Structure 1
Amino acid sequence: MNALVPSEIQLDVLREVANIGCGHAANALARLVGGKRVDLSVPRALVTSAVDAVDELGGEETVVGVQLGMVGELRGVMLFVMPARDGTALGSVLLGSSPATAELESALAETANIVASACLSAIGKLTRWKLLPTVPYLRRGTAREVVAGAVRETEGEQTSRVVVLETRFSAASAPPVAGRMLLVLEKESSKALLQRLGV
């Protein structure tokens, strides 16, 4: 993959990987919220600098994000991000009450772990790689701060290129919950993924 100008075929393949992985993740989330439908947007693939990725995905809205690393042939992070109010709403759906902060954070972390595991399992089936998430880490702050933390941990250098696969989701729960799932890959991992898929 050209580090600066990926081909349309390569971007299509990355989008399809995101579509399959996030589709499995959405199914896992649907089961967690009582079988309610979870809708996904068409995923998009960004190949850009760390700084530009944060500008593209960030914002000043207060969010809660659960970040997980990856164990296996891929290197990068997954990020499960929701507006703060949706994080609270998801907690009430999962726990059936207005949970205390510690209970809410534990429920969100476990949800992200299940969702990430489903996503990585789907990608693993495509590649025949065994991929597992690391222990989830919860972040609070603006979308810009939360995304910047994930991107920074992926490559470490603000000038590095990263691949970001993003899809938005909305759950028809009561109350409704919406957010987005991000898969941020190190440059070399994205190359390895495309090569593994024959692109």
Structure 2
Amino acid sequence: MNALVPSEMQLDVLREVANIGCGHAANALARLVGGKRVNLSVPRAVIASAEETAERLGGDEPVVGARLGMEGELRGVMLFVLPVRDGAALGSVLLGQVARGAELESALSETANIVASACLSAIGKLTRWRLLPTVPEMLKGSAREVLASAVKETEGGQTSPVVVLEARFSADCAPPVSGQMLLVLEREGSKALLHRLGV
């Protein structure tokens, strides 16, 4: 892997890491929504700038979600992002009633924490690293604003490309809910992960 761009083989390995981590996260989410089926897209591993990532994942669409840092040997952030309507729907499923304001934010924050913990725990078992999420930070705004801010923060405000592992999910609950889970890795973090996996 050079300073910026992983090889195609390395991207395949990162996709498998995302598949394992996001799969465990989806299982955790399924338990939270009462055992309903949670469908997960084939995770992607892409090299993108903040702007490219934001455009591909929603542009000006208003979203709600949570940003969590990572404690341990892996550096980056995890994002749990839903369109505003889906965020409200998930809150009503979790609480059994229409949720707004602080109550909704608290439910989504706890969900993001559980989902992120499951994802990082699975990656930790794969790498034998002890990985934990930081306290969730709630986010609101356009997908562009939310995602661009998180991507830039991983590189201290730089705009150069980063590694983004992304999967879309949909829960077969009533009302239905869909959103995205993303791992945005610092360049050094992705190199350390690949080195740990012997690639």
Q: TM-score, normalised by structure 2?
A: 0.96
Which residue of structure 2 aligns with residue 144 of structure 1?
A: 144
Which residue of structure 1 aligns with residue 39 of structure 2?
A: 39
Instruction: After TM superposition, give the deviation of residue 9 of structure 1 in Å.
Output: 0.8
Which residue of structure 1 aligns with residue 23 of structure 2?
A: 23
- Give the distance between the partners of 1:101 and 1:2, measured in 2 at CA: 45
Aligned residue for 2:108, secondary structure, equals: helix
Which residue of structure 2 aligns with residue 190 of structure 1?
A: 190
Aligned-residue sequence identity (percent) comes to 78
**Structure 1 segments of 4 or more deviating over 3 A?**
none
- Give the distance between the partners of 1:76 and 1:164, measured in 2 at CA: 10
Residues 122-155 of structure 1, C-alpha deviations (whole Å, 9 max, x = no match): 0000000000000000110010001011112111
Instruction: After TM superposition, give the deviation of residue 8 of structure 1 in Å.
Output: 1.4
Instruction: After TM superposition, give the deviation of residue 72 of structure 1 in Å.
Output: 0.1
CA RMSD of aligned residues (A): 1.1
Query: Which sections of structure 2, spanning at least 5 residues, go unmatched?
Result: none
Which residue of structure 2 aligns with residue 157 of structure 1?
A: 157
Which residue of structure 1 aligns with residue 131 of structure 2?
A: 131
Q: Is the 2:50–2:151 Cα contact (8 Å) retained in structure 1?
A: yes
Which residue of structure 2 aligns with residue 109 of structure 1?
A: 109
Moved more, 144-153 or 28-37: 144-153
Letter in 2 for 1:68: L
State yes or no: 1:85 paired with 2:110: no
- Give the distance between the partners of 1:53 and 1:90, measured in 2 at CA: 24
Which residue of structure 2 aligns with residue 57 of structure 1?
A: 57
Which residue of structure 2 aligns with residue 166 of structure 1?
A: 166
Q: Is the 2:4–2:187 Cα contact (8 Å) retained in structure 1?
A: no
Letter in 1 for 2:68: L
Q: TM-score, normalised by structure 1?
A: 0.96
- Give the distance between the partners of 2:107 and 2:139, measured in 1 at CA: 14
Instruction: After TM superposition, give the deviation of residue 49 of structure 1 in Å.
Output: 2.9
Matched residue pairs, number? 199
- Give the distance between the partners of 1:79 and 1:38, measured in 2 at CA: 18
Q: Is the 1:58–1:144 Cα contact (8 Å) retained in structure 2?
A: yes
Which residue of structure 2 aligns with residue 180 of structure 1?
A: 180
- Give the distance between the partners of 1:87 and 1:50, measured in 2 at CA: 23
Q: Is the 1:91–1:98 Cα contact (8 Å) retained in structure 2?
A: yes
Moved more, 57-66 or 120-129: 57-66
Distance 1:100 1:51, change over 3 A: closer
Letter in 2 for 1:156: G
